[in-house]
Amino acid sequence: MEKRDLSSEAEEECVKKTRVVLDKGQNGPSARILEKMGGEKGSAGKGLDVKLHPLLRKSFNLPSTITTSSRNPLKQSRLVASSSSAFNPYISQTSSLIANSHKPKPLKFNLQGKFISKGDKFREQLRLENEERQKHDQLAEQGLLANENLREDHYRLQFPPLVEWWDRPYLRDNNYTRINDENRLVLDNEEQPITCYIQHPVLLEPIWEQTTSHNAPIPMFLTAKEKKRMRKNDRQIRHKEKQDRIKLGLDPPPPPKVKLSNLMTVLTNEAIKDPTAVENKVRKQVEERLQKHLRDNEARKLTSEQKRAKIFARQEKDIANGVYTTIFKINSLDNPSHFYKVDINAKQGNLFGICLKNPKFNLVVVEGGEKSMKHYKKLLMNRIKWSETGDEENTGLSKCKILWEGRLPQINFEKWSIMYSRNDEEAIKVLKKFGMENYWTIAQDSQESTN
């Protein structure tokens, strides 16, 4: 009977404890539960009178100090151990409380078209990724991808300004939208006056798109050793082809090349029988080979017309690379040898210009290619001895001087010609036909400065 009474009492106490906890909304036992657990000792006087472990205080949020009069919880748990609903201080009671207070969640219905919109967004994202991948592949094929080693992908493009710095003082706005409106222009600026025209920089072609003679590829020239090696290789190839044709029977084998030095080696039996006849025969073959060699050389020689055409083509190519001009002032051309050299070398060098003879001095204006001009300049300045005038009285008076030299955009003369003038007026009139009357003035100023 005592056991039944104890179990009924323990059940009542557990029900009271849970009601108190639910009313206060706490996770651990309340103060009343603690009072029950730590009450005075029973009438039997049994118990260990041991305090709770500090960890149990933390788990149940117990106060740090408990009075000595509190009862031992082990005694109570030992008494109600047979009951399944008995309170155990070493087991957390929060899970059971939460389980009892669980409420079912309400149903949530998805709106119509929610997952369709998600699918559309996902497909759009895949399409954009595919386009970016195609652009990346195209740039990779063209070699326009940024170099990650040089960190080119971190470069920032600099956009052109809204207004250029040279236009800012003359505009009232910060852009070019109303540039045609004269009221928005500041043309009467005292610091930077300007007319009604605004000059913008000219757009130049990129270097790689320019098609001028300056950007033409430089031709490659071979050295003497490389040319010799190429000729040797070509001879070997031709000789091997000839041997192959002889082996196949397409061509007959050439006769032995007999000379006086290898006479006994090649024609052993015949030379022993009749050496005189064999020697005459060998001499005849040597003479035939020599004549054949001379005939081939004559056939390869160019005629006089072909030589002139070849020289003329070379000179035209030289003029195509650039037109150069030089102005010479010669004090006297009385020596016929000097006059002949000046005239004939200009014609042979395919030069254009004029040799203007005057009683005061002679003016030579020459235009042509760079190589021809270099050769003509050496002739007049170094090779001709101007001190040899041919007249003993005027010895040492003649000399040659360069007034000006440079490059021209085009040739101003049609041919090389010799002209004469009696005074300054006639000389200027002759040069005025070609737009070069200032050359005579330059020559006169140089003569006065020397005097």
Same domain, 44 and 166: no
Report the chain's mean pLDDT, rounded to a whole number: 79
**pLDDT at 78 exceeding the cut of 60:** no
Mean pLDDT (whole number) for 50-66 = 55
Give the pLDDT confidence of 94-143 residue by residue, as tens digits.
555 555 667 888 888 889 999 999 999 999 999 999 999 999 899 889 88
Can you tell me the distance from the alpha carbon of 301 to that of 283, in angstroms, rounded to the nearest whole number? 28
Same domain, 323 and 400: yes
Whether residue 408 contacts residue 324, with contact meaning beta carbons closer than 8 Å, is answered with: yes
Of the candidates 401, 433, 430, which has an alpha carbon nearest to the alpha carbon of residue 418?
Answer: 430
68 and 139 share one domain:
no
Residues 292 and 329 in one domain: no
Whether residue 295 sits in one domain with residue 198: no
Q: Report the percentage of the chain scoring pLDDT > 90.
A: 38
| Residue 405 belongs to a domain | yes
Structural contact between residues 17 and 33, judged by C-beta atoms closer than 8 angstroms: yes
In a domain, 310, yes or no: no
Structural domains of the chain, count: 5
CB atoms within 10 A of CB 251: 12
Q: Do 335 and 444 have their domain in common? A: yes
Residues 69 and 164 in one domain: no
Answer yes or no: do 284 and 354 share one domain: no
CATH number (domain holding residue 375) = 3.30.70.100
Residues 87 and 120 in one domain: no
Mean pLDDT within 398-422:
91
Residues 257 and 174 reside in one and the same domain: no
Structural domain that includes position 179: 159-202
Residue 53 domain-assigned (yes or no): yes
- pLDDT at position 62 over 50: no
pLDDT(180) > 60: yes
Residues 6 or more apart in contact with residue 21 via CB below 8 angstroms: 29, 30, 33, 93, 97
In a domain, 220, yes or no: no
pLDDT reported for residue 39: 44
364 in any annotated domain: yes
Give the model's confidence band at 197: pLDDT under 50 very low, under 70 low, under 90 confident, else very high. low
In a domain, 27, yes or no: yes
Task: Let me know whether 30 and 83 are in one domain.
Answer: yes
- On whether both 297 and 398 belong to a single domain, the answer is no
Is residue 180 exposed (0-12), middle (13-18) or buried (19+ Cβ within 10 Å)? exposed
Tell whether 153 is covered by a domain. no
Q: Tell me how far apart the 2 most distant CA atoms of the chain are, in Å.
A: 174
Which of 427, 436, 269, 413 lies closest to 351 in space, CA to CA? 413
Whether residue 21 is predicted with pLDDT greater than 60 in this model: the reply is no
User: What pLDDT is recorded for position 415?
Assistant: 92
Is there a domain that residue 328 lies in? yes
